[in-house]
Amino acid sequence: MNQDNNFSPIERLMEFGMSMAVANQMIQTMNDVLSKSKNPVMPGVQLPTPSTKMYFVVINDITQGPFTENEILKYIISEQITESTFVWHEGMSHWELSKDIPDVAKLFLLKPPKF
């Protein structure tokens, strides 16, 4: 046991409690400032909006979709989409295997292992 004669256990608890109170006050202050701040307005400049990429897949020789990445993941988990499933999304010149499309291939890493 560490013998620190500078603080008793009660003093350590009080110090901890005071530190938590200060931290909470800082968080509240930051949240207040952020909620009152305004986004800068730049006339004539439109920020790009993130678009959801939609995928089409071939399952049982039938083209299906469009699907979001979350929907694709569900099909991967249920093993209806495998690494050898053909996938296409807007901007692609041709159909490719799912394992060759980085955004889809990463979803296979999220599939839980078999029990």
Kindly state the helix (H) or strand (E) to which residue 55 belongs, with its residue range: strand 55-59
Name the DSSP class of 83: T
Domain residue ranges of the chain, discontinuous segments joined by +: 55-108
DSSP string, 14-57: HHHHHHHHHHHHHHHHHHHHHHH------TT--PPPP----EEE
The matching CATH number, chosen from 3.30.1490, 3.40.190, 2.40.50, 3.40.50, for 55-108 is 3.30.1490
Q: What is the C-alpha separation between 112 and 73, in angstroms, rounded?
A: 11
- pTM beyond cutoff 0.85: no
Q: What is the C-alpha separation between 62 and 73, in angstroms, rounded?
A: 18
pLDDT recorded at residue 59: 93
Q: What angle do CA 44, 38, 47 make, to 5 degrees?
A: 35
Q: What does the pLDDT look like over 23-79, one tens digit per residue?
A: 888 888 888 877 777 666 667 766 666 668 999 999 999 999 999 999 999 999 999
